[in-house]
Amino acid sequence: MDAQSLLASAAINIGLALVLVCLFSIMKKQPSNASIYYARRVSLRHHIPFDHSFTFHRFTPSVSWISRALRFTEDEILEISGLDGLILIRLFKFGINFFSICSLVGLVILLPLNYTADNGLSKSSHSMDSFTISNIDSGSNRLWVHFSCLWFISCYGLYLLHKEYNEILKKRIQQLCNNRHRPDQFTVLVREIPLCEEHKAHGCCVEHFFSKHHPYAYRSYQILYDGKDLDELLKEAKHIASKIEDLTHHSLTKKHNREYSLSDAFQQDGKITRYGERLEELCHKIRHIQCKKMLEEKELPVAFVTFRNRWGATLAAQSQQHSNPLIWITEMAPEPRDVLWRNLSIPYRHLPLYKIGVFVAASLLTLFFAIPVTAVQGIAKYERLKTWFPPAMAVNLIPCLGPVITGYLPSAILSGFIYVIPFAMLGMAKLEGYVSRSKKEIKACNMVFYFLLGNVFFLTLLSGSLLDQIGKSVTHPRDFPSRLASAVSAQADFFMTYILTNGLAGFSLEILQPGLLIWDTIKSYTCGCAKDKNPYLYSLPYYRVIPLVSLSILIGMVYAVVAPLLLPFLIGYFFLGYIVFIHQIEDVYETIYETCGQYWPYIHHYIFLAIILTQITMIGLFGLKSKPSASFATIPLVLFTLMFNEYCKIRFFPAFCHYSVEDAMRNDELDEKSGLMEANHRNALNAYSPPCLRPLNFIEEEDSSSTQPLISLT
């Protein structure tokens, strides 16, 4: 890819981003779009000051949302979306802080050093190579400058990682203290409960076991039931109740407007009556199944056990309850709103089989994705493609089409394919049987990152190098190492276009929400639904955003020394992402769970991998550039980075996996001093009522965390 193609990609992406952001700022001012752009605030009944008058200001772009996002504080983010949302924003801030310093080093020191070197190659043959390490002569002492910058960048990255881990750990401890009212701090999830031979039930075993082994802390339990049949009836009943509500509203509107004939009115009333009879029949069936005798036949070996205090729950959750580790398996319960009730019916011993199946499916998807990545690199390497596939020369017949195809099209196609991957991985993670949405999304986040690492990063390098070098390497095999080094650095221009497309266009589409706009328009014109009745409320897609941002950090780190021209693009990428997602957190996305920072250890691991890959890449490049002394001198840096990671595993990681007894007891003491212990404990007693035991209420949405069960806890 030449400079002309890169400029074409930059112009298209910047122009597209400006158009999308201007369109968003106009659409956001329209009251009819409040359910899209103020979904969270509409759901909370917040007042939104709209200008309802038909004025010029309503239809002109503005940047007021940007200034408001920049004024937003971390405490406000923490209050709205919890520590998980703050971690996402701090990830963007990490990128801005890290790549600002890297850009200063790269543009002031490395870029002039690379460009002024003369390795005997014509700068016009591949103009972007003039700014990369490939322009340095083999064996040149200039490589020691790159070596020094590698040490500085690596150490600065490790310093920022340690600082972030330490600060986020402090915020996690404080957040657990602030969330003392949460019932999951008093509750333990128990699985693989043995069957009582005398009563042929699991519930009495729970009562006997915890009363005996935790006499001072145990309070009560909620046994769970296989409610698949009941769930189907509830779903059908809710659907019929919704139909009755819609028909009643439609009928009243028609009667008010006097658009009904007498026969139409009788017909509509008859339809409502039939639906009402069917709903009453379903309610009778549901209440019959909910009776205690029927439910005892559907008992599962799973229960939520509530304790009188946090330290008792913590000790029970983090200790082995039986000499046989395959029974009485305990863990801290997820939040009530975070529970995936259906997955609790999956036998614990079957979970390894589910995980193997998901691993195989993810591997097959990864292999299949190699096809579009290779095809994308074929378009990006258009000059080679013309040699192997002469019909591609027809592109030259249209002026300016070549730079657009080679500069913008490959990254746009790749971004389009990548868009569906997080949703596919989320579906696979759901099949693994996780008991909470947060664990499911963390698993999906992990799967997406490694998928992107393998396919977008490594496969792009491999396919690009092969397409670019296979011809010359066959005829001159001895020159392959030097050409490979050149090809690795030459891929920087493709990653520049990828960052531009994924950042400028991707974040602009994220804030505009064109899919919801189109759907809302279609629904309003076809169904006549009121737009402000039900906001389009979704949770923050951590599983999609975190892996993509982490991949951009990895690309930036690997190319920080190799091709510093990439770094300014990354600063723009992280800054745009920062303001976009602050806006989304404030106005759009709701919080459906709070893990108190459990995403950060995974993010830390992704960035650690990026630093290690940077160092290993430079060891290889120093070797290919005939500077083995620099390669050997980099090995201590790799060892130091590995030791740093082991230290973080020992120092920080356990505090994110467990709830310490010290913190539990301190929070218990705070509750006792403030007189809140009894209230928080009572809240935990009935918080884990399964959906099949909740009262029937089909008109309004049920609150999963506070609904009173039909059968009281034992």
CA 83 to chain CA mean position, Å: 14
The domain spans of the chain are 3-181+352-657
SS3 340: coil
DSSP annotation of 196 reads B
The contacts of residue 126 (CB under 8 Å, 6+ apart) are 2, 490
Q: Look-up: residue for tokens 């002109």?
A: 60
- Report d(CA 125, CA 182) in Å as an integer: 64
* pLDDT digits 0-9 by tens, 114-144: 888 765 554 544 456 778 887 888 888 889 9
Tokens representing 87 are: 């971690």
The contacts of residue 456 (CB under 8 Å, 6+ apart) are 373, 414, 418, 498, 551
* pLDDT digits 0-9 by tens, 95-109: 999 999 999 999 999
- Stretches in the chain below the pLDDT threshold 50: 122, 124-126, 388-389, 466-471, 473-474, 478, 480-485, 531-532, 699-714
DSSP annotation of 138 reads T
In the sheet with 299-307, reading across from the earlier edge strand, the strands are: 218-225, 299-307, 187-191, 329-332
Q: Look-up: residue for tokens 């020369």?
A: 393
- Report d(CA 430, CA 340) in Å as an integer: 9
CB environment 354-366: b (16+ within 10 A), e (fewer): eeeebeeebeebb
**Quick one: pLDDT at residue 533?**
62
Q: Look-up: residue for tokens 């097959």?
A: 364
